[in-house]
Structure 1
Amino acid sequence: MFFKKHVFIILCVLVFLIPKAYYVYSAYKTNHYTKEKVYNSGDETHYLKIGKNLSKHWVYSDNDSNIPTEHATWRPPIWPFVLALFYVITHNIFGLILLKALLELGVILGALLLFKKHFKYSFFQLAPFLVLLLEPQYIKYSITFLSESITACLLLVLTVFFIVYAQRKKFSTLIIVCSALVVLCHPVSVFFVGALLLFYGLINIRKHTIQVLFHSILFIVLMAIWPIRNSETFDKGLYLTASQGAVLSKGWNKNVINNFNNVDGDLANEALNLTDFPSEQIDLENLSILDRNLMYKESTIKFIASIDLNEKLALMFTKVKANFNPLPMLKKDTFLDRIAIPFRIFYLFIFAQALYLLMFKGKSGLKEEIFHSCLVVLAIIIGQGIMSIYAYTGLRFNSIYGLALLFMGILINLDFLNKQLSTLLIKINQ
């Protein structure tokens, strides 16, 4: 009965899943999902090693032991813990990627159904949102064991929670919990989350002051759990990930103005500042990962202090310009990379449209869901901008916002899209 009643939306889901299924199958046929391949694939390998260690020893380590390692804390904890649960079910690599695909599909559809239920949309009205399953940056990372795609799904859920619950006392705690999960899955989102929670506080501070204060404390507590764990385990202070010094160094060095781009900024030499500002601890190879990153941080701070204001501003501008550039600054040949370009151009349009609506229509001139969507877009702009200045961003890191931006782009323009879809269906029926 359910299938007969909702055959249209079920068929739409299946059709929109075809590209994802094709890329998973292609990766399988090219032997990407073999132990030989994935356990020699850089970041993917590291996530899998930590997840496997957690499932076997229930210790956050990357060397198949029950002893915690500093190097494992290079990765934030959420995705490795999810992988650990997958490993409980199967150790087959293809099975793991299928579990990831099912989890992400369930999260995306769950977010859309919550939105539909709250605003009483029909399945026909919901159909345009299934384009989310075609978002090329999401597909690119969803067929890997990297954390970008699962972060994109969590960020979509956070967006829906904010749109639905931002002005409601009931269930608004979900916004706080999901915010912490997003940051602990991919810390590059931290400034976006901070901006979004600021908007949440400003919306509710007058009517629900106690609630806002409680939620602020709750967020701090949730975010503090992992740094406290790291401090207690290694006795080297509070930190979220062990990569913070390297990340800062890659975003602030003498080569940024001439060489930085939005494709391979993550491949920059984190030890570059040490050549000009050497540490007393010159034997980096024998230092622990945390001590080495402390050296990177100290040398980067010295570099920043050594350049004048004009150089600082030029360096910041270089990174911000690269962040909002929808075109790859180095050649990328895959079809997914090419088709992602018009999507990112659309996201730039959504940035401009949201800013226009907030400035010239405001809360009183917009539907509640449209106003909240525009606030999320503004939070993304702020978050990306600050992160690009503080460290660096790029196409890979910004891919975590793809699903949310596409969702909000459709929502803001939904009336127009539904009119066009209705006109098309009438023509087909004629």
Structure 2
Amino acid sequence: MKNYSIGLLKLFLGIIFLGILIYNFHIANSLKYESEGDAANFIELGLSLAQTQKYGHIKGLEEGVITAFKNKNIQENQIEFANHSTWRPPVWPILIAGVFLLFGYNLTYVLIFKFLLQLLGIFIFYKTLKLLKVKKVLVLIGIFLYAVNPAWQLYSRVFLSEPITLFFLTLWLYLLIAYVKQKKAFFIQAIVAGILILSHPYYIFLPFTVWLILVINNQIRLNRFVISSVICAAVVSTWVIRNFIVLDTNQMIITTSSGAVMAKGWNHKVPNEHTNTKGDLADEELVLLDFEYNRNEFDGEVGSMQLYQDASLNFIRSNPDLIIPIVWKKIKSAFNPFPETSRPGFLETGRVIYQVLSFLSLIIILLFYKNKLQWSLGVALVISTMAITVLTYSGLRFRMPQTTLELLFFILVLQQVFNSKLNSEFKYFS
């Protein structure tokens, strides 16, 4: 009878998931030619890599990249490389280029790849729950919640890098737990951690913080922390070395957008106006208002990055009275599960529910759990989030990929509640 009930639950959840998957693909495919801003820039970088084997901006498409795809005007002989760029992290554009080269220059193929990656992510999350010996019914609930995650549904419809970062964070989490539990996949988890950072530099502190807390809690040896850190840094350094060469700079750069991102999180409007929904829309030019500079001395992407970094540091030195209010505002915003400016819609409501449950689960794990692995993951997430938030800023968009970790916390709390209830019932009847 129990197996029959589980089978019915699988069928029911499977039908719902299939319907949601098909619907979201339909929406994404119908909106693919409306991409602009960041999403269109990722497509341009992928096209540049596929056509010119160089990472940067292209010329020859006067109508624009997305319109050229719509009109089927992507031809090798008309696209020329314009200049190198490091404004975006490289992993997603590299994958886009691979799709173009293998299957053809069609945005639908990129969407198919994204959705297949989500299916693979679901399977990996399933394997993670099995590694942690989660009960069968909770495994089903967990993979269903991962599969229909409202945040993923929202970002599955555009060409942003967040769903790709979600996949690599899911993969890294599985490999890390596999190492802690079974002492395998050590080297590959360190490599994937580097790929995770190159997918989205927002997570630059997460792997190192997790490894360090695991060392403190005697879950891994100190030498493993050192080796993991070296391997991860080596993966990231391949991109840094590329930037040394093509950008002709002596600075360690992952993305040249880091200067503007820092400026968005350090200006006089942050204490009153920063929110977890519109942080990426803040005006980075504000930090330049009280900074004396010669624009001619800050040329190109690297120069622009340096200008914003210098201006941000100048703002911090010149306004010591604003440091604590800004840090407090950004940290409070980063951990707020509710959107600080209204976002209507069914998926946005579902996203809030996910975030509230995840936030409560994180608090429970930090305050009441004795499991060292789970507690370490929770502490590391908090510390790494605080670190990147103080340096730049956080927001619901940047936090989207960590929903895999937050969902894991929620399922583990449900598991504990389930076990406690069973133990109570056993004591009652014995």
TM value normalised by structure 1: 0.84
How far did residue 126 of structure 1 move? 2.2
**What corresponds to 1:347 in structure 2?**
358
* The one of 211, 234, 239 aligned to 1:197: 211
Aligned-residue offset at 1:321: 1.1
Aligned ranges 1:212-291 → 2 under 5 Å:
212-237=225-250, 238-281=252-295, 287-291=299-303
Does 2:187 correspond to 1:186?
A: no
CA 1:396/1:167 → structure 2, altered by over 3 Å: closer, same or farther? same
8 A Cα contact 2:212 2:225, kept in partner: no
1:413 and 2:425 are equivalent in the alignment: no
What's the CA shift for 1:66?
Answer: 6.6
Question: What's the offset of the Cα at 1:211?
Answer: 3.9
Equivalent residue, structure 1, for 2:32: 33
Equivalent in the alignment of 1:328: 339
Spell out the pairing of 1:118-197 with structure 2 (5 A cutoff): 118-119=131-132, 124-129=137-142, 130-166=144-180, 168-197=182-211
CA distance in 1, matches of 2:232, 2:327: 30
Q: 2:317 aligns with which of 299, 302, 305?
A: 305
Query: Could you tell me which amino acid in structure 2 is paired with residue 223 of structure 1?
Result: V
Note closer, same or farther for the CA distance 1:120–1:373 as it changes in structure 2 (3 Å cut). Answer: closer
Contact 1:261 1:394 in 2 (8 A): yes
* 1:399-419, Cα deviation, whole Å (9 max, x unpaired): 121122112211232254589
What fraction of aligned residue pairs are identical, expressed as a percent? Answer: 24
TM superposition shift of 1:302? 0.8
Shift of 1:51: 0.9
Indicate if the aligned counterparts of 1:319 and 1:389 stay in contact, CA closer than 8 A: yes
Q: Matches of 2:419 and 2:118 in 1, distance apart?
A: 26
Q: Report the CA distance between 1:344 and its aligned residue.
A: 1.1
1:17, 1:134 within 8 Å by CA — same for their partners in 2?
Answer: no
Give me the TM-score of the superposition, normalised by structure 2: 0.84
Give 1:245 deviation, angstroms: 0.8
Distance 1:55 1:191 in 2: 31
Q: 1:49 aligns with which of 44, 48, 53?
A: 44
Q: How many residues align?
A: 396
2:21 alignment partner in structure 1: 20
Give the deviation of 1:154 after TM superposition. 1.5
Q: Deviations over 1:7-53 (max 9, x none)?
A: 9647634432422322332344xx4123xx23xx1000000111112
CA-atom RMSD, angstroms? 2.7
Describe the shift of the 1:388–1:209 C-alpha distance in structure 2 as closer, same or farther (beyond 3 A).
closer
Q: Deviations over 1:352-385 (max 9, x none)?
A: 1111134xxx3xxx3xxxx323322221111211
Shift of the 204–86 alpha-carbon distance from structure 1 to 2, 3 Å rule, reads: farther
Deviating above 6 A after TM superposition, structure 1's stretches of 4 or more consecutive aligned residues are 4-8, 418-421
Return 5+ residue gaps in structure 1 as ranges. Answer: 422-430
